[in-house]
Structure 1
């Protein structure tokens, strides 16, 4: 690593050549165990989300707004875990654990972009279920393909805007002589700890924006599901109520897992008492949730399970015909 230039006792972000990702403590055996655990979660996440994307794309019966948004969620989760896991896996086997300044900023940018996009996307999915259940006659017009595409694009644009603000504010800071990030990826909280200048503005912006996003999207989810629950309870068909509760339950499970961990980590000052605790929380929403989402939506969704059966039967027929 090249020698950095010091200015007024601090290390300028413009001249910093790299950071060291401290990651998790422990010897070689602990690192090997963590490597195995991270690899297993990442493989399951990739396979699960790719399966959902392929399944929804190929099965015409799943070409509806709900599954369009679910395919986008799988794509975001696939990219989300891929931004973090490969570099973390490499660091478990590396002694240096160095990440360049540019790579760190890039990882931070896409991590922030995809995390924010997922929050918006979960809110859009709740609104879609609200329109489908509470206004079924208006649903085909209200959630036409053009509107769905615009809503999906809006989630990515919102994520990109937040990411630009967070990344520019964070990486213009002058960093102190230590370049050791007490984390397994480049995140805002451990980076702020390395800054020499006052980070009050950064913290206010982070808590303000994250709090606003979480509160606004949570309100959309709660209001949507408030109307949904009232509508379902008024239904006379017990089987219809069970099917709708099952479908909505999958989404509420995914929402609770994601918003709960993000709120603990970013939306309230001092929520995470130590960086070790923060690392555990981070593992949950960067790897565990992207791994669980495909399972949550497939195991509790009859349409997805039927589509999986049809895909398996189709492959069996193709294999038998080629023999």
Structure 2
């Protein structure tokens, strides 16, 4: 997949989040703390969903897949960023750069598709509750998850192949903290006018397909909620969808800026801030939003604490 050009003989250099080293210590501490919280929160969600039988439902199966994606997503960029912040050399090899591009595009693409499919799940739950177990059976859930992973992988393969086959014979200094495609392509010494439209179309389609699913699903949900006579039913429907809508708004907003807005609207500084938001902050926010705003998850957490407490008391009494 990664074909190294003869003109690309040296490693890339990543400038990082900050060119100045004055605030490196504070920034390192903050990013490291966010990284630890994000990984722990997502792993906890995966374990909790697997351990509690009451969470063995289509929605929480898809949510566990989201946590897997978020964990891999943040592990693709942040460890390298943290290492670069405390080391003199901030280089990344051509192959490692290509691998990083493939992984983060795959994760972000898979998450795009998964969030769209989660909207379909909410549509079935609200609009067709009596047929929910049939329309969202185990086989369907596995196919939906596999489709999200496959769509992201295809997107990652296509964009990585295009990016890494462009000749880079000039500066190898990337004004970014990881190998993000727009930042890497700025270093190309060949005309990229043929590549950029193809990449733009690919990114738009990657956003357009799930956004169409989300828009259609929530339009039908709104119609159904409007017809509900019960205030309690409307409140339950809103609660069911609010966490998903919050995550979608955050993630798609940042992605829209990065991949859809023309490059004339971008500056390297703004790109770094937006990229830091969706590669570092979002993976931490997703499990927190779903756990803090979800009674089922909080209930499962309390049951786990109760079981752990009971087991500890039994172990103490035995000794």
Q: For each residue in 1:229-272, what CA deviation from the matched residue of structure 2 results, as whole angstroms up to 9, or x when unmatched?
A: 22123223322321221120100000011111100011121264
Answering whether residue 179 of structure 2 is matched by residue 182 of structure 1, we say no
Which residue number in structure 1 is paired with residue 79 of structure 2? Answer: 86
Deviation at 1:80, TM superposition (A): 0.3
> So what's the TM-score if we normalise by structure 2?
0.95
- Count of residues in correspondence between the two structures: 313
Deviation at 1:28, TM superposition (A): 3.6
Question: How far, CA to CA, are the matches of 1:39 and 1:25 in structure 2?
Answer: 15
1:83–1:107 Cα contact (<8 Å) kept: yes
Q: For each residue in 1:206-251, what CA deviation from the matched residue of structure 2 results, as whole angstroms up to 9, or x when unmatched?
A: 2101111212211110110111122123223322321221120100
Which residue number in structure 2 is paired with residue 279 of structure 1? Answer: 272
Which residue number in structure 2 is paired with residue 153 of structure 1? Answer: 146
Which residue number in structure 1 is paired with residue 15 of structure 2? Answer: 22
Gaps spanning 5+ residues in structure 1: where? 1-10
Aligned with residue 40 of structure 1, among 13, 28, 33: 33
Question: How far, CA to CA, are the matches of 1:134 and 1:247 in structure 2?
Answer: 12
1:176–1:195 Cα contact (<8 Å) kept: yes
Which aligned pairs between 1:234-245 and structure 2 lie closer than 5 A? 234-245=227-238
Which residue number in structure 1 is paired with residue 137 of structure 2? Answer: 144
1:166–1:206 Cα contact (<8 Å) kept: yes
1:175–1:195 Cα contact (<8 Å) kept: yes
Gaps spanning 5+ residues in structure 2: where? none
1:298–1:304 Cα contact (<8 Å) kept: yes
Which residue number in structure 2 is paired with residue 4 of structure 1? Answer: none
Aligned with residue 132 of structure 1, among 125, 133, 136: 125
Which residue number in structure 2 is paired with residue 226 of structure 1? Answer: 219
Aligned with residue 166 of structure 2, among 160, 173, 181: 173
> So what's the TM-score if we normalise by structure 1?
0.93
Where 1:20 maps in the other structure, the secondary structure is strand
Where 1:29 maps in the other structure, the secondary structure is coil
Q: For each residue in 1:83-124, what CA deviation from the matched residue of structure 2 results, as whole angstroms up to 9, or x when unmatched?
A: 011000000001110111111111110000000000000000
Which residue number in structure 1 is paired with residue 248 of structure 2? Answer: 255
State the Cα RMSD in Å.
1.5
Q: For each residue in 1:268-305, what CA deviation from the matched residue of structure 2 results, as whole angstroms up to 9, or x when unmatched?
A: 21264211110000011101111000111111111111
Deviation at 1:13, TM superposition (A): 5.6
